[in-house]
Amino acid sequence: MANNEKLFDMFSPTTTEDWVAKITVDLKGADFDKKLVWRTNEGFNVQPFYRREDLQNVAHMGTLPGQFPYVRGTRDNNDWLIRQQIPGTTPSEINSEALHAIDRGADSIGIKLNGDITAEDLKVILSGIDLKRVELNISCCNGKAVEIARMLVDYLTANGLEKDFRGSIDFDPFKRLLRHGLEFPRDIKTEVVSMYATVKEVENFRCFAVNSVLLNNAGAYITQELGYALAWGAEWMNILTDAGLTPCEAASRIKFNMGISSNYFMELAKFRAARMLWAEIVKAYEAEDGCCKMMVHAVTSQFNQTIYDAHVNLLRSMTETMSAALAGVDSIETLPFDLQYKNPDEFSERIARNQQLLLREESHLNKVVDPAGGSYYIETLTASIAKVAWTLFNEVEENGGFYSLLKNGEVQKKVNESGVKRHTDVARRKEILLGTNQYPNFNETALDKIQKTPCGCGCGCATEVADGAVDALNFDRAASQFEQLRLDTERSGKRPKVFMLTIGNLAMRLARAQFSSNFFGCAGYEIIDNIGFQTVKEGVEAAVEKGADVVVLCSSDDEYAQYAPEAFKELDGRALFVVAGAPACMEELKAQGIEDFIHVRVNVLDTLVKFNAKLLN
């Protein structure tokens, strides 16, 4: 006879209040909310733990993958396409590179067409590419988008591929305002009608782009990117339905190209929330449920890519790719790690492809649909992100819609404000870029490896704003100011020496020497660390002997009252003097002429800029 006894019946249930009480005891009087509750930049709080009861009021619970509102995915599988952007300047070069990428695992290719392209050029580009199994995505000058789309449709028709083709053309008249602050020079509605008439016979040809990846690359927060992306999509729905398309015809031609930041769990939740909210938006146009599916292509972020310690970009892009894959997007482009300082080569392109192949072919992330479904944490994040993004979407709609706010520069202004905030957080180390503003490679140089001017917009060129234009997005990467600082050091031909004068309390001097080494290493200075000195005089003499430009006193707060004045007097201006820490006696030390203190509350970037001004002139 089977034993149906429930194993945990002997234990009384533990309530949320019980857990909070236990945690509060362990905190020993510290405030629970201040210590453990995380206030995100996205505009909501994250609790230190979640329970089943937290999902009771989450409206999207109970649906299955492939069911409206598609929070759990638009398909009954988790296969995604591996996109690679194809380099090349001539049709034959593009064709050769595309075939090479496809042969090595890419099943979606992106091609940027510049200049005048003929039907014969397109035929050369596509020669040997099996468009029944490979997705094709074309970007070009918007003024030529309809013409190129027509050439492609003619090619597909001539080869009997109208039913099998999957792909897109990146027609986006709004990105001109985002990049350059200028309006699209033609009538958008006329171009839209022409574009739809051109592609309508090819069922799976997406042609109206929502490029919120631009917002991501400008430093937008997750809810900000999502809220504006939804408003962008709604703008397309309004234009298309006003032009006479049915809601299903309109929605089936829109493609979302979204960025992925390194905020792993939140990005996973973002894509789930995006599908849910987009389904509700399209449903509001009285579309059938099956027409409410969002098609999303995800691109790893350029905002957090770095030139120094560039291989760390692999870690960033891997977590980004993984979060998008687990979230169930349709295709992913993992950017090469060296994109910011050179044209990617065979090695970096192969590694970028293989990052996805590892997740798909070896980790089998394509075998499980919505693995995050039911997670108390992820489901709560999904609902929280959806709520904030939906609020922003409604604000945009109430103020005239996405296009209207673009034309007066409001969208660009709000995103740029977020970018400034994130740059400040990087400068103060509230946001960490490993290898750039924390734990830098002290001896690395970059001048010799930079082969091109970095550009964060993803368009391959610098953005310029014409006179009279509204504000454009600022695509300065998070690392750009630290990189400029360090490149200034390299260009100067000097490399200031920073000497760690370690003395006194062993634990504190070692900790502060490490902190100070990482601090000054961000400017590319030479770091001279030491195991400790018996006397201040001994340490100062060693520093002078080494030719130190900066001497950093590393000890404990209690000992600074004695050691700092002694070291400052002994050094006697032969090098800049710095105290590592913010001791209680700081004001007394300042009264004695000691000016420089470094600690966790200072702005690292501003401090190092001032040191550069003193040391490199």
CA dihedral 14, 20, 26, 30 (to 10 degrees): 180
Report H helices in 113-212.
119-126, 145-158, 175-180, 188-199
Angle at the Cα of 292 from the Cα atoms of 287 and 294, rounded to 5 degrees: 150
The residue length of the chain stands at 617
Q: Distance between CA 415 and CA 412 in Å, rounded? A: 5
Across 554-563, average pLDDT: 97
Structure token digits, residue 156 = 């597909």
pLDDT single digits (tens) 117-136: 999 999 999 999 999 999 99
Confidence (pLDDT) at 454: 56
Residue 217, phi-psi category: left (phi > 0), alpha (psi -120 to 50), beta (remainder): alpha
Across 307-335, average pLDDT: 98
Across 398-403, average pLDDT: 98
Confidence (pLDDT) at 305: 98
Residue 105, phi-psi category: left (phi > 0), alpha (psi -120 to 50), beta (remainder): left
Q: Which residues of 329-353 are buried (b: 16+ CB within 10 A; e: fewer)?
A: bbbbbbbbbbbbbbebeeebbbbbb
Confidence (pLDDT) at 115: 83
Structure token digits, residue 463 = 């953005």
On the CB side of 231, CA atoms within 13 Å amount to 27
pLDDT single digits (tens) 381-392: 999 999 999 999
At position 340, the amino acid (one-letter code) is Q
Structure token digits, residue 503 = 């003395």
Across 449-477, average pLDDT: 70
Q: Please name which of 116, 218, 220, 211 lies closest in space to residue 463, comparing C-alpha atoms.
A: 218
Structure token digits, residue 391 = 């609020």
pLDDT value at 98 more than 60:
yes
pLDDT value at 462 more than 50:
no
Say if residues 351 and 337 touch (Cβ distance below 8 Å). Answer: yes
pLDDT single digits (tens) 434-454: 999 999 999 999 999 999 875
Confidence (pLDDT) at 10: 76
R_g of the chain computed on alpha carbons: 28
Q: Please list, in sequence order, all residues whose beta carbon lies within 8 angstroms of the beta carbon of residue 57, skipping any fewer than 6 positions away.
A: none
Angle at the Cα of 373 from the Cα atoms of 370 and 377, rounded to 5 degrees: 130
At position 380, the amino acid (one-letter code) is T
| CB atoms inside a 10 Å sphere around CB 563 | 20
| CB atoms inside a 10 Å sphere around CB 83 | 25
pLDDT single digits (tens) 39-94: 999 999 999 999 999 999 888 898 999 999 999 999 999 999 999 999 989 999 99
Q: Which residues of 94-104 are buried (b: 16+ CB within 10 A; e: fewer)?
A: bbebbbebbee
Position 469 confidence tier, pLDDT thresholds 50, 70, 90 = confident
Q: Distance between CA 547 and CA 545 in Å, rounded? A: 5
Structure token digits, residue 444 = 């690395």
Position 564 confidence tier, pLDDT thresholds 50, 70, 90 = very high
| DSSP reduced 3-state for 452 | coil
Report H helices in 399-505.
402-407, 410-427, 480-492
Q: Distance between CA 398 and CA 404 in Å, rounded? A: 11
Percent of all residues in the chain with a pLDDT value above 90, rounded to a whole number: 92
Percent of all residues in the chain with a pLDDT value above 70, rounded to a whole number: 97
pLDDT value at 2 more than 60:
no
Q: Please list, in sequence order, all residues whose beta carbon lies within 8 angstroms of the beta carbon of residue 358, skipping any fewer than 6 positions away.
A: none
Q: Distance between CA 208 and CA 233 in Å, rounded? A: 9
Average pLDDT across the chain, whole number: 95
Position 456 confidence tier, pLDDT thresholds 50, 70, 90 = very low
Confidence (pLDDT) at 143: 85
pLDDT value at 455 more than 70:
no
pLDDT value at 579 more than 70:
yes
Confidence (pLDDT) at 249: 98
Q: Distance between CA 256 and CA 233 in Å, rounded? A: 8
The arrangement of strands across the sheet holding 596-598 comes to 526-528, 497-502, 550-554, 576-580, 596-598
Across 198-204, average pLDDT: 97
| CB atoms inside a 10 Å sphere around CB 159 | 14
